[in-house]
Structure 1
């Protein structure tokens, strides 16, 4: 007996949920974009600061090496003067060696002959007896006339000092090898230079030659001096690029860092600063967790609020549906009311018009109801109406069937798609069920039923169906009640059917 039940108002739950989650995700995406930009700025600032520091250090080291190299070149040119050996040893020292040779962190400048023996020493008039023919800074110049300034790998003196040698070739007038002028620079110079800088706990500063030999590193570890780092990523860029940056994990201590490197002038030296990524992003991580916590809290609050609003909207929709159901239902009998019957009939009539299928209507009236009501009271009368309604509800099994209270003691049953024969069976079923009921000690009143069946077409309207069923009901009452009368529409005359 459902007929056209009032449909629940659709709550766009999925759409509202998608909108709410979309807004939260958009807000989160904006925050992620801002955080990403902040991280990039921190990275860029760290790179720029390291680049400036490396350039400053490289410039200072280059200047000192250039000054020392000028001293070496002056000695190499001076020893070839024709009368240099004729002057006194004191004057020769003044002519050949300037004050740079006695600067802090610089060792003696030695003049070696073609056999590698020491012939002159900047620190004494009587040079020590020593031979350096097996040292790399001697053999390089012996083998290559165009070696220029050579900077050796670090080596240790008998006193335990770590030095690097800077040397130049001495050539005869015919270009043949005449010896080497060699000076030394203590690695403590670089150690003191790096120690002046402020580093993070995991940052590093490295000086190494182009062969990958580490000359100095901060934090300082004597065991790391002389270690080869030829496999470091810097050599994937050098010598194609004399400066640059990259991010990698250190092959020395396995800490992930941003490295910025630069060649020291035109010398075979490279200096690189490594900034720990954890140090670079330390402040950023604090901001990340703070902003992340705020965004997460706002997201949770938004989702909770969204579900609360969805619940409120759903409750309102359910209330509206319930009101609509109450507005279309008769309170006493639980059947549909007249308004819902009219709406359903209009829909089913249009459907029957499209499908060319019949629509049947039963008009049911409780016989002598006023007299019963006056005799037994209104409560007994209401019980009769409720019983009739139960009989109608029990008989209308299909979803499309609709039982309704038409008004007072009058009921209607709409049967879409059922012809007259089926409608007559339904009417008999209602009357038979009603006969089986009793209300206390009182016999139930009988009912009169008017039946009409019309196939919708251009010659009829739904109003014609109601009018035909109503006229058939009037005919049943006029003929003595307690019977079924089929409308003469489509028949030659009404056919009464008495109770069995």
Structure 2
């Protein structure tokens, strides 16, 4: 079992090495893949960073929203609890005020009967019994002023007109008994024995109560927290602005969204200072009050922006490095491939004529031989030799000899134009041509065209006359059969070349006969 496991591990390592080597070879042969891969990796890194940052932004806003909801809940609970306590005190005052005997008691006793200890709570501006004509019948603090009337107050008029008002929250007013201190009134109607309007029980809550409640809430430098009535009357706000207390924000777009539902969260630009905030609000149960917490969006996202800038710079830097290194590698691989290709071309190309060399002939002849064997088509080979080339070299110099070789190579290339044909310099003054799918007649025709074209070219000038060169060509054609080799066909063409030379040069010889030389025929 242990041996099997070890063998499996070895095979796995070999497979992984082979796969790695395959990838390396593929990238090495396709340099642009390296650059594109690096670019895609950098883009993936950037995309992942953007996705993470987007999720971080959403988390920051969600956390701020949850915190705001908790703060709104705290404010709402505090208001609801205190209003409930104040309402119990009001109901106690109403019950005591209905008893005419209680109102006839001495002031000290009357206060004990009408007003409980809750009316002495902090931020209460006073507890009062207002008569049917707006006069103060009783006061917790004994600040009864016969000349002061409250018949014009909104709370008085509301109770005077209807018995079904219940607990009433007044709009902010300046107290006539406490040097104009800003307060709101919590009131209930007092009915007489006959059910007629007999006055109002009033608890005056100093506006500082709401402001003190909000001062404990931290919403940042640009954040805001406020308490507003459902008709848009602002009772308290942080940051505090004395001129805003008692004003109406009913026409503000932010309040219009707020007044449409009992609770919610939304983002909007404040009409007061132009700061974009995230408003979280809720109605205080049993009251016409709405508590809202509105942190500034920029402050909520400030830590996120700080992290995002760092992450963005790092991602941009690393991404740029990855892209740069990837493309540098790609360009290096491309240059390497080009250099290798150039070396391969140099290794396979004759530097003088630009034709393929002996190595090219060996490779291509073998390939075409196998292809002809599979297809059953004939394969032809031409062997070409420049006549009396040594004498030409000795007579006109090696430069003219090189020119003669170049001229012959150009003539051969001009005749042999198919992409599948192969033209090479075999060595010295000899050339070879491989003609796939070409019959003996076709090969003979091509060879004759080459011979004529070479004969028609002047290579050098001597004594005012053009000097030509001629070539002898040997042709061999065969359909590959079992046991035969490509070199056999090449050797057959070489034999035909010697036959052409033996027959007088400047002629073509093939396995099927000799084409007569036209070197000295004037009609040629």
Q: TM-score, normalised by structure 2?
A: 0.81
Alignment of 1:38-53 (within 5 A): 38-53=56-71
What does residue range 20-169 of structure 1 map to in structure 2 within 5 Å? Answer: 20-124=38-142, 126-157=144-175, 159-169=179-189
Aligned to 1:6: none
* 2:273 aligned counterpart, secondary structure: coil
What corresponds to 1:425 in structure 2? 449
Partner of 2:306: 286
Once the two structures are superposed, residues 7-39 of structure 1 have per-residue CA deviations (whole angstroms, 9 ceiling, x without a partner) of xx9953554333222111111122122222222
Structure 1 pair 10/296, CA: closer, same or farther in 2 (3 Å)? Answer: closer
Deviations 1:305-339 (A, max 9, x none): 11101111101111221122122113454321122
Q: Could you tell me how far apart the structure 2 residues matched to 1:172 and 1:160 are?
A: 31
Alpha-carbon separation, structure 2, partners of 1:391 and 1:274: 93
Moved more, 32-41 or 464-473: 464-473
**Structure-2 residue corresponding to 1:476:** 500
Q: Partners in 2 of 1:285 and 1:440 — Cα distance?
A: 91
Q: Offset at 1:261? A: 1.6
Matched, 1:178 2:198: yes
RMSD: 3.5
Deviation at 1:287, TM superposition (A): 1.0
Secondary structure of the residue aligned to 1:226 is coil
CA distance in 1, matches of 2:412, 2:461: 18
Larger mean Cα displacement after TM superposition, 9-18 or 332-341: 9-18
Write the distance in 2 (CA, Å) between the matches of 1:300 and 1:440: 71
CA distance in 2, matches of 1:269, 1:17: 64
Alignment of 1:213-232 (within 5 A): 213-230=233-250, 231-232=252-253
Q: CA deviation at 1:414?
A: 4.1
Give CA-to-partner distance per residue, 1:331-350, whole Å, 9 cap, x none: 45432112212444456678
Asked if 1 retains the 8 angstrom alpha-carbon contact of 2:477 and 2:511, the reply is no
Give me the whole-angstrom Cα distance separating, in 1, the residues matched to 2:509 and 2:51. Answer: 78
Q: For structure 1, which segment, 147-156 or 103-112, has the greater mean C-alpha deviation from structure 2 after superposition? A: 103-112
441-450 vs 77-86, greater mean Cα deviation = 441-450
Distance 1:75 1:439, change over 3 A: farther
Q: Distance in 2 between matches of 1:421 and 1:332?
A: 27
Equivalents in 2 of 1:387, 1:296: separation in Å? 63
Which deviates the most, 134-143 or 24-33? 134-143
Query: More deviation in 461-470 or 212-221?
Result: 461-470
Secondary structure of the residue that 1:167 maps to in structure 2? strand
- Whole-angstrom distance in 2 between the partners of 1:185 and 1:85: 24
What is the CA–CA distance in structure 1 between the aligned matches of 2:312 and 2:399, rounded to whole Å?
Answer: 67
Q: How does 1:411-422 map to 2 (within 5 A)?
A: 411-414=431-434, 419=442, 420-422=444-446
Q: Supply the distance in 2 between the matched residues of 1:22 and 1:328 (Cα, whole angstroms).
A: 38
3-state secondary structure, aligned to 2:456: helix
**Distance (whole Å) between structure 1 residues aligned to residue 53 and residue 90 of structure 2:** 55
Long gaps (5+) in structure 2: 1-26
Say which of 460, 465, 475 aligns to 1:437: 460
Note if 1:448 corresponds to 2:466: no
Contact 1:384/1:439 (8 A) holds in 2:
no
Q: Which residue of 1 aligns with 2:407?
A: 390
Question: Is 1:277 aligned to 2:300, yes or no?
Answer: no
**Cα distance 1:117–1:407, how it changes in 2: closer, same or farther (>3 A)?**
same
Deviation at 1:80, TM superposition (A): 1.7
Determine the structure 1 residue equivalent to 2:358. 338
Determine which of 256, 268, 277 is the counterpart of 2:276. 256
Matched, 1:486 2:509: yes
Q: Which has the higher contact order (CA 8 A, sep 6+)?
A: 1
Provide the C-alpha distance between the structure 2 equivalents of 1:445 and 1:259, rounded to a whole number of angstroms: 100
Contact 1:383 1:439 in 2 (8 A): no
CA offsets 1:230-258 (integer angstroms, 9 cap, x no match): 354465465753x3322222233221111
Residues 14-68 of structure 1 deviation map (CA, whole Å, 9 limit, x = unaligned): 5433322211111112212222222222222222222222222333333333333
Question: In the alignment, what sits opposite 2:5?
Answer: none
Superposed CA offset, 1:129-154 (max 9, x none): 33323322112222332322111111
**Distance change in 2, residues 1:346/1:175 (3 Å):** farther
Label 1:348 to 1:173 Cα distance change in 2 as closer, same or farther (>3 A): farther
Structure 2: distance between partners of 1:16 and 1:365: 49
Unaligned ranges ≥5, structure 1? 1-8
